[in-house]
Structure 1
Amino acid sequence: MTPVVDEKKVQGKKKQKNKKKADPRKLEIFDACFALGGACNWVGDFDDAIRYFKRAKEGCEEQLGRESEKAFHATYSLIPCTVMRGGEKIEKYRDLLKRCERVLGVENVITLETLNQLGSNLDDNEEYEEAKGVWERYLAGRVKVLGENHKDTLGTLNNLGVIYELGKDHEETKKCSRNFKKFLYASGNSERFAQMITSCPGLAFEG
């Protein structure tokens, strides 16, 4: 009896065999490019930030593949540094989000942070309804990955509170406020500090 050959498995093995092994020394250089790009971005030197992030992106794509996590990270880092109109930036984040969800999964940190940035840009562009949906997805992902009491959810709760307040969704604002206080105590921040950092005072003062 002639054995059945699984062509997909054969091709997969060939690809694995022909796959170039990444050079650890080069990857260290690209990690340094990430760090330098982040530092330049922090001080507002966007031209140099773009240069370093591009080098990291090209290097990671060459060493690890176009759909590697580090290549996606470099693409994510490049978008906010690049001068473009709000609508163009939103489309860049949408495209990156689709690719991240397909390749990395919905709970990957790059996928979640892309969701967060998409929400922020929609908010800046006054597309509040869509921003609300995006941030709700982001919050659900953060809670699932990090747990309910992680302090990183504070900013998302605040963003959602602002959106709910703008939309006069008082019930959701109250719910957000209760959760905000819960996360506040878990993170070790005082309510006084929360009142200072939140752009939606209702979250801190709501009873």
Structure 2
Amino acid sequence: MQVHIIDDEPEIRHSLSFMLKSERIESKGYDSAEDFVDQLPHVTPGCLLVDMRMPGMSGLALQLRLHEMGCNLPVVLMTGHGDVSSAVRAMKEGAIDFLEKPFTKADLMAAIDAARDYLEHPPVPPQARQSALARIGLLTKRELEVVDGLVKGHLNKRIAFDLGISPRTVEVHRANAMKKTEVHALSELLHIAFLSGLMDQQDTAA
């Protein structure tokens, strides 16, 4: 993962680059938000480490601009002003973390780890989860129980035994669940279950 350091102070860019290099993390510096936006089509995917207050476009303004452009790279904002209200707004707008200067190397690496986790496991878009919940909500209690068994990886015979019904009845409920959720394969049904949070519930129960 490459870290893009966006700060108008050369000393800050150099210091952060040195700290990251000591952890074998590649980085690239930009002296303004505008400079980064200009180069965006060619940048290597990674994390943005952005100063909150810069001449021209601010760090928060850059974050909003990136959202408008459909860029979802994780953003860590930095400030030397202790601007709590800006920090709160940044987090609401989707910032991964907020670092107040001067911060330690441990603070920096914790933020970078959070950004790496975001890249590896991006959050489910709210619209996709809502759609999945609406489709799962069309199922009857018995159909949900069958899907629950499928989520757990159980075969039809095991689901039938657990529910006290025949394997054929399980097949019927499974077919009905797929029809109601408008999917054509088991993998699609499990994907809908995942988006709805059904799998998360099973992990919690386990």
**TM bin (shorter chain):** under 0.3
Higher RCO (C-alpha under 8 Å, 6+ residues apart): 2
Structure possessing the higher radius of gyration over alpha carbons: 2
